Chains A and B, each alone.
Chain A
Amino acid sequence: MIKYFLGTKKEENENKPQEESTGKPVEQHPVIALRNAWKTYRTGAVELTALRRISIHIFAGEFTAIMGSSGSGKSTLMNILGCLDQMDSGSYLLNGTDISSLNQEDLAFIRNQEIGFVFQSFNLLNKLTLQENVELPMIYGAVNRGERTRRALEALDAVGLASWARHRPNEVSGGQIQRAAIARAIVMRPALLMADEPTGNLDSRTSRDIMELFIQLNRSGSTIVLITHEKEISAYANRIIRVEDGEIVLDSFGRDAPKPERDN
């Protein structure tokens, strides 16, 4: 049922860990091509360099976890990858589009079309039903009403919430809210699914369910970037990038990752 949400069409087996030392699967084009990203925050006299010349390539179909402790720069990295913020210098191609030259309105369009966000604090609008929440990106994406309803219900079905469409966030559980948020993130069929500590506010059982859902989405083609500081969560990914002090200190393709118990 998740096949419908292919970000980039791919075969089923491709999200197996890549063993090549370059980390570049030959036949794929990069969803993320970040080069020499540099970002400094200034608050008064204090300067804080959050990113120091970071370069990352992430290819279609990859499930990447960006790890790092608080203050490591991983949030800044996520904001830049998610087009919520812009870097001071460097270049960024998202799905082939040069982001560094875009203005605010164009960035909003890119976020709408190419990126789906899943947040730690869910970030659904409480006064809207789950279905209305899922429809929201399509309103900004100028999808017509009939199509909107159809796709929202499909997305909710894909995350197992078909019968909860008319409920409001305060009427369902945290796990269900996060599923709805995932439905919202995939409904525009984005090139990139960004999840920022998606299980941070959930208990371990629900966290597992949510991570299983990400794996399913990844298998059916979604490119996922997961931001986390938890090792157990990062283990669901097949590539781990560790950030410390604004620099990448580790980029491993599944070697360190203990295999999560999938398919049982």
Chain B
Amino acid sequence: MLLESIKMAVSSLMANKMRALLTMLGIIVGIASVITIVSLGEGGKNEVLGQFEQIGASTVIIQVRSGQAQAGDYINQNDIEAIRTRIDSVKHVTATLQTVGHASTEMGRRRIYLSGIDADFIEFSPIEIVYGRLFTEIEYLDAFPVVIIDRAGAQALFGRENVVGERLTVESSGRLLRTTIVGVCESVASQFSAFASGFGGDMDDNRGIPFFVYSPFVTARSIIDDNNRLSSINVMAVEPERVDEAGAAVIRLLEMRRGNSERSVYRSQNLASILDQINNVINIMTWFISTVAGISLVVGGIGVMNIMLVSVTERTREIGIRKAIGATNTDILFQFMTESVILTLLGGMMGILAGLGLAYGISAAAESLGVAQITPILSWQAIVIAVAFSTAVGLFFGIYPARKAARLHPIDALRHQ
């Protein structure tokens, strides 16, 4: 009987393809929007997760809350040294000075992203040397005017990649520093950094994503005016299980040194807590879109109910015939319910496909614009929920027309023209 009902429903929908499609539109839009946001959200989460893997599960970021902080609360090199030597659970600690500046050669002037790094930096974020070398210990300690530039930067500033030994003038906030290039590194997968710092556009455009230039921390300080105040440091625990312990220990130590524990100036963030924040944002978006989609599903459902009522009226005579030859009220109810559920289920499936298509479209657009690189991920849970919701809409909005059909009196129905 189920098979027969499905056959009947399909043939009746096929008889009015355009009408069926238009009826399904509300469902398609509703399901598609949810699928789009969910698959992009999952994909984005995955992407961010991948990028944070570079930081690693054992890393914790210690930040100074700028709202609560006074001048004396900021972290300095002495604090870093203290953390490094006095906390057992800490394996590495690094502070980075970062600024946007320019670098110039005979070939021109380019926008750069200058990072002043210390020896521990590579433990957190590896620098892959292609030509030349990393900085030596003495270069780190004595503020040697040396830099490492990324491949794309070398190409843009010199027209070739192996630029070890070349001179590079680096400037930031009006200060100049003449440096020697000691190494060329692989360009970082820069999408996330670019995304995070709000850059977009072409790589070799002045307004575009900047090239990366690294110098020893102390060297960078000579052109970056930070007053020896660091607002954030990265700490790596000896093992991932001790990351919370390390974070807490660092904060305790800092508070002890400053005597400001009552103001809770410092906070620690690890991979888990950052992921929590991202999840929060995604969840809020998902809920928002789901609400819109829910409205769309209700409107779509009303459309289905409407068209099913039309269908019942159109097929009154058919209902009469079926009843005359032995269809029970239940049979008729079942037939029309099957039809409305197939209608919404089909809409749901088309919505899944449309949503996935849209998600891939958006991700392709975002990638070509250089905004973000996200591969949509469609989980089976999302599919199950989409299918369940579209079925539920079909059942809920199909029941009234189907009951109306089932309750028709056979004689009245047969007389209907």
Contact = CB atoms under 8 A, between A and B. Distances in A.
A108 B327 contact: yes
A113 B329 contact: no
A111 B326 contact: yes
Interface string B1-32: 10010000001100100000000000000000
Contact of B324 (A123, A139, A141): A123
B222 interface: no
Given A84-B410, A123-B414, A140 B321 contact: no
Interface in A84-103: 84-85
Interface in B373-417: 409-411, 414
A142 B12 CA distance: 22
Contact of B411 (A84, A108, A140, A188): A84
Contacts of B318: 125
A123 B326 CA distance: 14
Given A84-B324, A137-B325, A127 B11 contact: yes
A141 B328 CA distance: 10
A140 B329 contact: no
B4 A139 contact: yes
A125 B414 CA distance: 12
A109 B326 contact: yes
B244 interface: no
Interface in B205-227: none
B411 A85 contact: yes
A47 interface: no
B333 to A, nearest CB: 11
Nearest to B330: A105
Interface in A109-129: 109, 111-113, 117, 119, 123-125, 127
A111 B329 contact: no
Interface string B314-338: 0001101111111111110000000
A184 interface: yes
B326 A112 contact: yes
A55 interface: no
Contacts of A137: 325-326
A123 B321 contact: yes
Contacts of B1: 139, 142
A130 interface: no
Contacts of B322: 136, 140
A173 interface: no
Chain B contact surface mostly: helix
B321 A108 contact: no
Contacts of A113: 326
B328 A125 contact: no
Contact of A140 (B15, B326, B410, B414): B326
- Of the listed residues B324, B328, B414, the one surrounded by the most CB atoms of chain A closer than 10 A to its CB is B324
A256 B4 CA distance: 48
Given A79-B411, A84-B410, A108 B11 contact: no
Interface string A128-148: 000000001101111000000
A108 B414 contact: no
A137 B321 CA distance: 10
Contacts of A69: none
Nearest to A104: B329
Contacts of B15: 127
B330 A140 contact: no
- Of the listed residues A85, A109, A140, A141, the one surrounded by the most CB atoms of chain B closer than 10 A to its CB is A140
B330 A111 contact: no
A136 B325 contact: yes
B323 A108 contact: yes
Contacts of B409: 85
B3 to A, nearest CB: 9
Nearest to A106: B328
B324 A104 contact: no
B324 A140 contact: no
Nearest to A194: B324
A140 B11 contact: no
Contacts of A104: 328-329
- Of the listed residues B321, B323, B330, the one surrounded by the most CB atoms of chain A closer than 10 A to its CB is B321
- Of the listed residues A84, A109, A124, the one surrounded by the most CB atoms of chain B closer than 10 A to its CB is A84
Contacts of A142: 1
Contact of B328 (A123, A136, A140): A140
A184 B325 CA distance: 9
Interface in B299-323: 317-318, 320-323
A110 B301 CA distance: 36
Contacts of A117: 324-325
Contact of A125 (B4, B321, B410, B411): B321
Nearest to A128: B11
A109 B414 CA distance: 18
Contacts of B325: 111-112, 117, 136-137, 140, 184
A97 to B, nearest CB: 15
A108 B328 contact: yes
Contacts of A111: 323-326
Contacts of A105: 328-330
- Of the listed residues B323, B327, B328, the one surrounded by the most CB atoms of chain A closer than 10 A to its CB is B328
A165 B273 CA distance: 71
Given A85-B409, A123-B321, A140-B328, 15 more contacts: A82-B324, A84-B414, A104-B328, A104-B329, A105-B329, A108-B328, A109-B328, A117-B325, A119-B324, A119-B414, A125-B321, A127-B12, A137-B326, A139-B1, A140-B327
Interface of A: 79, 82, 84-85, 104-105, 108-109, 111-113, 117, 119, 123-125, 127, 136-137, 139-142, 184, 188
29 contacts: A82-B324, A84-B324, A84-B411, A84-B414, A85-B409, A104-B328, A104-B329, A108-B323, A108-B326, A108-B329, A108-B331, A109-B328, A111-B326, A117-B324, A117-B325, A119-B324, A123-B317, A123-B320, A123-B414, A125-B321, A127-B11, A136-B322, A136-B325, A139-B4, A140-B322, A140-B328, A140-B331, A142-B1, A188-B326
Interface of B: 1, 4, 11-12, 15, 317-318, 320-331, 409-411, 414
The 8 closest A-B pairs by CB, nearest first: A112-B326, A108-B328, A140-B326, A137-B325, A105-B328, A123-B321, A84-B410, A140-B327
